């Protein structure tokens, strides 16, 4: 069955039908979901989702674009949340230079702090990195991330960068972008990366695959992503589902 490694079901775009949608996951073949925190508020809502649904696990963390809200007191709260049952990762954390705010030094400071937190709590990390490949990699190298482990979510860099993150022991999160016709770089990366280092993800409600591009995304679209990966790697659809499930369980320590 399908393992969804990255979604945001706390998002207000799911307010109207969240219960109904999540209740349909099992029968549609989605076995587990990681709901990923991106701010203090969504971390709180992620924990509530893990308490309500036994098949939802959570990641707690603050996305680089929201690091402006962090201070020592709030960080101490975040640290406590790592010990909630059902929390399996720290994320999404990283660097996002597509946006000018918050300034880069603030993003870097809290990226490092959250990496340290993950190391201390013995949790893998979910990395968000946009237009910041070199800085992300250098900080991860400096922080010895090979001992922490994790996934580069929505991997969008070139093959050369993929090689470096794979060498560090990281997984690559592949989502709807791989189905876009002009996504040559991601298709190349999928062809290059071994299947035992790929995770399936949607980043719902964002990044819906073709033919739903621009619409609200959900984990029910994961078969479209798995089909594309199978096509690129010239392998079976079932094998992609099975292997990526195995990879995610291993990374997030879910039996
Ligand atoms: Ni995300």
Spacing, Cα 8 to ligand 1 middle (Å): 7
Domain ranges of the chain: 2-252
Spacing, Cα 36 to ligand 1 middle (Å): 6
**pLDDT in the model for residue 251:** 98
CATH architecture of 2-252: Alpha-Beta Barrel (3.20)
Spacing, Cα 236 to ligand 1 middle (Å): 27
- What 99-103 contacts at long range (C-beta under 8 Å, 24+ apart), as own/partner pairs, is 99/65, 101/65, 101/68, 102/64, 102/65, 102/67, 102/68
Spacing, Cα 141 to ligand 1 middle (Å): 23
Spacing, Cα 203 to ligand 1 middle (Å): 5
Strands 150-152 and 56-60: unpaired
Mean pLDDT calculated for residue range 128-132: 98
Spacing, Cα 186 to ligand 1 middle (Å): 17
List, for residues 204-224, the tens digit of each pLDDT value: 999 999 999 999 999 999 999
List, for residues 136-165, the tens digit of each pLDDT value: 999 999 999 999 999 999 999 999 999 999
Q: Is the pTM of this model over 0.85?
A: yes
Spacing, Cα 27 to ligand 1 middle (Å): 24
């Amino acid at each position: 069955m399908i393992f969804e490694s990255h979604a945001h079901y706390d998002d207000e775009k799911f307010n109207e039908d969240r219960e109904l949608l999540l209740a349909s996951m099992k029968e549609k073949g989605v076995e587990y979901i990681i709901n990923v925190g991106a701010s203090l508020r969504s971390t709180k809502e992620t924990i509530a989702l893990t308490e309500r649904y036994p098949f939802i696990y959570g990641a707690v963390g603050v996305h680089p674009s929201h690091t402006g809200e962090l201070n020592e007191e709030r960080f101490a709260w975040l640290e406590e949340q790592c010990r909630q049952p059902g929390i399996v990762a720290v994320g999404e954390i990283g660097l996002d230079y597509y946006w000018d705010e918050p300034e880069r030094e603030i993003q870097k400071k809290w990226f490092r702090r959250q990496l340290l937190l993950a190391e201390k709590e013995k949790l893998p990390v979910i990395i968000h990195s946009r237009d910041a490949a070199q800085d992300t990699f250098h900080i991860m190298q400096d922080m010895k991330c090979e001992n922490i482990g994790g996934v580069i979510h929505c991997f969008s860099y070139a093959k050369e960068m993929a090689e470096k993150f794979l060498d560090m022991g990281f997984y690559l999160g592949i989502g709807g972008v791989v189905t876009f016709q002009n996504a040559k770089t991601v298709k190349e990366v999928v062809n290059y990366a071994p299947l035992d280092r790929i995770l399936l993800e949607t980043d719902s409600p964002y990044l819906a695959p073709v033919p739903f591009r621009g619409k609200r995304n959900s984990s029910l679209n994961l078969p479209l992503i798995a089909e594309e990966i199978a096509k690129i790697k010239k392998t079976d659809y079932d094998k992609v589902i099975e292997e990526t499930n195995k990879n995610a369980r291993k990374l997030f320590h879910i039996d």
